Amino acid sequence: MSPNWILAAQLAHMALTLGLLAWLGLSRVRAAKAGAVKLDNIALSSEGWPARVRQIGNNYQSQFELPVMFHILCLLLLMQGPVHIGFAVLAWAFVALRCVHSLIHVTSNHVIRRFQVFLAGVVVVALMAAGLALQLVMKAL
């Protein structure tokens, strides 16, 4: 299968992350202009921002936790040669789960649902890692 499907999934996640960054930046500028935050209170910690701005910021930061493993796995898969369609499906499932996770995180922030979606993403990454490990073992034999 074409590696473009994996690359497209990675780019989709990057678009989500950049969109969150833009939203966070605008939210911070608006809060600062509205006087909702004192710059001295945010110089060393994000705790001084209003709750809504922290909520967006927390979701943005979460894009650099589990997704880092996803991106590394995708790159490792691409280095191995042709990508099996199963990996492409898993990659897109992961991106879809990250979008749902973000939607929950920045709206209702229902912790149980957010955790369930996060856990599903962990399972997807674990399946990708197991599949890559199996592929490497099969090549070695």
Q: What is the mean pLDDT of the chain?
A: 96
**Angle between helices 85-106 and 4-33 in degrees, nearest 10:** 10
CA 24 to mean position of chain CA atoms: 15
* pLDDT of 1 over the 70 cut: no
Residue 76's nearest CA partner among 62, 94, 91 is: 91
Predicted local confidence at residue 3, as pLDDT: 84
Taking the C-alpha atoms of residue 135 and residue 77, their distance in angstroms, rounded to an integer, is 9
For residues 36-52, average pLDDT: 93
Torsion of the alpha carbons at 31, 29, 66 and 11, rounded to the nearest 10: 140
User: What is the chain's percent helix, strand, coil content, to nearest 5?
Assistant: 80, 0, 20
**What CATH number was assigned to the domain covering residues 4-140?**
1.20.120.550
d(CA 73, CA 84): 13
CA dist., res. 75 & res. 4, Å (int): 12
pLDDT tens for residues 81-120? 889 999 999 999 999 999 999 999 999 999 999 999 999 9
Whether this prediction's pTM lies above 0.85 is answered by yes
Question: What integer is the mean pLDDT of 24-49?
Answer: 94
